[in-house]
Amino acid sequence: MPEALKVTRTFAFLLVDRFPMFSLAAAIDTMRTANRMSEEAFYSWTTVSANGAAVTASNGLEINVQYALADLPSADITFICAGLTTEFDDKAKVIATLRTLGRRGAVLGGLNVGSYILAEAGQLEGHRCTIHWENRAGFQERFPQIECTGNVFEIDRKRYTCAGGTTSIDLMLDIIKQDFSPALANEVANQFHHERIRSQTDRQRVGPERDLTGKSEKLRKIVELMADNLEQPKSAVRLAKAVGLSVRQVERLFLRHLNMTPGRYYMSLRLERARELLRQTHSPILDVALATGFTSHSYFAQSYRAQFGRSPSDERRTTY
């Protein structure tokens, strides 16, 4: 690393109840490994909770933290780490702190569902962000004015967000690449057997067959188009034209790789999104149907029952 760039960077991780341990560990251990591989104590990190007390992770383990919000030290990026719930004790204090940091021009980030808390604090207005795929539908319903992509991570000026899990590694590797070099980022990735460093443009897995690794590039493109157009589904002709194939060629592609027709796959995507909306929001069932491309309530209910073995109203009653 050039002498002129030998500064240090500190990251603060604000933990809330039931935060995902893996997302936190993946982020911190990537920084630790970068220090080891570069033989520089370049990165440091602190952990924070609202009142300085230990926080219980989603796996039940209690994690002691170093600071309370009132004593939050200066940090280059302050990440909020949230997972199974966006409701927790002292939430008002957390929101107020994020707003204060935002007004001061601080760099803020969210791991996993941390983006939701940042949005509630008004810190993602005018920024791209991402969130775990399971929570994206609810996020978009609650914050329709915010561009929430389906990418593994997003860096948009002073806002850093990722979808959690192994995407925490990818986000930190991108930071390492910018701070040091692609070579060091690759060395760190190799330490984790992380075979490919995903970029900001890589998508999260979507649909019933989420792992399309090694499958046709055109198949992946069609699946992305489907996932991005659930409220107003694209016709088979338009999907085929978008990738330069005939409708029949697209049908053969889906049958060979996914063992189902494009229409059946598209329907599964729409119904999965409907289930997410039913579980994550209080939107009326008819609104959920319309948001996933169904113009008939009865057809929506019939299709939902065929897919999941229960009606939309049963799903809603089970969730709430």
φ and ψ at residue 120, rounded to 5 degrees:
-60, -30
pLDDT in tens, 243-278: 999 999 999 999 998 899 999 999 999 999 899 888
**Element containing residue 161 per DSSP (H, E):** strand 159-162
Average pLDDT over residues 57-64: 96
Looking at residue 80, its amino acid is I
* CATH topology (fold) of 217-317: Arc Repressor Mutant, subunit A (1.10.10)
Which sign, positive or negative, has the C-alpha torsion 265, 277, 198, 236?
A: positive
Instruction: Map residue 55 onto helix, strand or coil.
Output: strand
> Measured in Å, how far apart are the chain's first and last C-alpha atoms?
53
Domain ranges (residues) in the chain: 9-192, 217-317
Mean pLDDT for all residues in the chain:
91
Q: Which residue has the tokens 């053969």?
A: 252
Residue 283, both tokens = 């939107």
Q: What is the pTM of this model?
A: 0.78
* Amino acid at site 102: G
Task: Please give the pLDDT value at position 206.
Answer: 59
Query: pLDDT of 80-130, one tens digit each?
Result: 999 988 999 999 999 999 999 999 999 999 999 999 999 999 999 999 999
Q: Quick check: do 9-192 and 217-317 share a fold?
A: no
CA distances from 317 to 141, 300, 304, 314 (A): 19, 17, 15, 5
Confidence at residue 39, expressed as pLDDT on a 0 to 100 scale: 93
Higher pLDDT, 6 or 95: 95
Reported as a single tens digit per residue, the pLDDT across 152-172 is 999 999 999 999 999 999 999
CATH number, span 9-192: 3.40.50.880
